[in-house]
Amino acid sequence: MSDKSSLPIGVFDSGLGGLTAMSELNRLMPSEDIIYFGDNARIPYGTKSPEIIKKFALQDTRFLLSKGVKAILVACGTVSSNCLLDVSELAGVAVVGVIDAAAKKAAEIAKKGNGRVAVLGTSATVNSGAYETALKKQGITEIVSLACPMFVPLVESWHPTTDDTATNAIVSEYLAPISNDPPAAVILGCTHYPLLTEVIKKHLPESALISSGAEAANALSAFISENGLANRNGGRTEFYTSGGAELFSQNANTFLRNGREINAVHIDIEKF
C-alpha cells in the first residue's frame, strides 16, 4: 500500500467560515499540508435547495481530489447536514463533517448542565434535521433549532465587531427564543458563526458555545493520527476561492490574524 501520509488534507466551505475549522486543524496538526477551498462566488449555500447544495458540494470535492488530498474536512454545516454521504461516496478518501463531532461535544456539556441544547444554523441545515438526529443519538431530547440566515452575510461582508449596533440587533432577534431561559450548550452549527462568538456570548453569557468546525477538526485530527496518516514534514497551506482572490485574501488575513500572509488563487469551480 502506498504511503499517503505526505499528501495534503482538503478543507472546503461555501466561503470564509471553514477557516474556523482550518485554523483549529492547523493548530492541532501544524505539520500537515492543507488545501482550502472557499466557494465565495456561490455563497450562501444555506438558502439553496438540497439538490443545488449537493451539486456544489460534489464540484468542491472534485476540485480537492484534483489536488491529491488524503482526507477531506467538510467545513460547512450546510453540506455536512444535507449530503455528507454523497461527498464520501465520491471522494473515496476519509471524509469528516461537522455534525456528529459538534453533537457529541454538546451532549457531553448539556448532560452536566440543564440537559438542553440549541442549534444555530443556516435554513438548509435546520430544515435537514441532521443535528436533531445526531443529538438524539447522544441521548439529548430537549433541542431548539434556530435558523440565522443573516449571520453568514454579516460575517462575509461586514466584519462585525462586538459593539456594532446592527450586529447586536440581529443577534438579539435570532436568539430571543432562548435568551431568557438559556440552554446549557449552543452549537454554532454553521462554521461562519464562531466568527461572531463574542457578540453571541454577550447575549447568551451562561451557555457554552460550541464551534462545529473546531470539533470536526478535532475528529479529523484524531482519525489521521490513529490511522497512520500523519505528515511530519509539511505545514504549508494553499488557499483557493471561486470568488475574487484579492478580497478572499484580505478577509482571510483579517480573520486568521496569525501573521502568515495569505495569497489565495482564483479557480473556476464550474470546470469541476
Catalytic residues: 76, 190
Task: Tell whether residue 190 is a contact of ligand DGL (CB under 6 A).
Answer: yes
- Grid cell locating 197: 462568538
Task: Tell whether residue 171 is a contact of ligand DGL (CB under 6 A).
Answer: no
Piece of the chain touching ligand DGL by CB under 6 A; list 62-70, 71-79, 223-231, 236-244 = 71-79
Tell me which residues in 113-142 interact with ligand DGL (CB under 6 A): 122, 125
Piece of the chain touching ligand DGL by CB under 6 A; list 54-62, 134-142, 189-197, 236-244 = 189-197
- The residue from 9, 11, 120, 152 that contacts ligand DGL (CB under 6 A) is 152
Nearer to ligand DGL, 23 or 191 (CB): 191
Tell me which residues in 3-22 interact with ligand DGL (CB under 6 A): 13-14, 17
- The residue from 23, 61, 145, 191 that contacts ligand DGL (CB under 6 A) is 191
At its nearest, how many Å lie between ligand DGL and the CB of residue 181? 26
Gyration radius (Cα) of the chain, Å: 18
Task: Tell whether residue 24 is a contact of ligand DGL (CB under 6 A).
Answer: no
At its nearest, how many Å lie between ligand DGL and the CB of residue 47? 6
Task: Tell whether residue 143 is a contact of ligand DGL (CB under 6 A).
Answer: no
Per CB under 6 A, residues contacting ligand DGL are: 13-14, 17, 43-46, 76-78, 122, 125, 152, 190-192
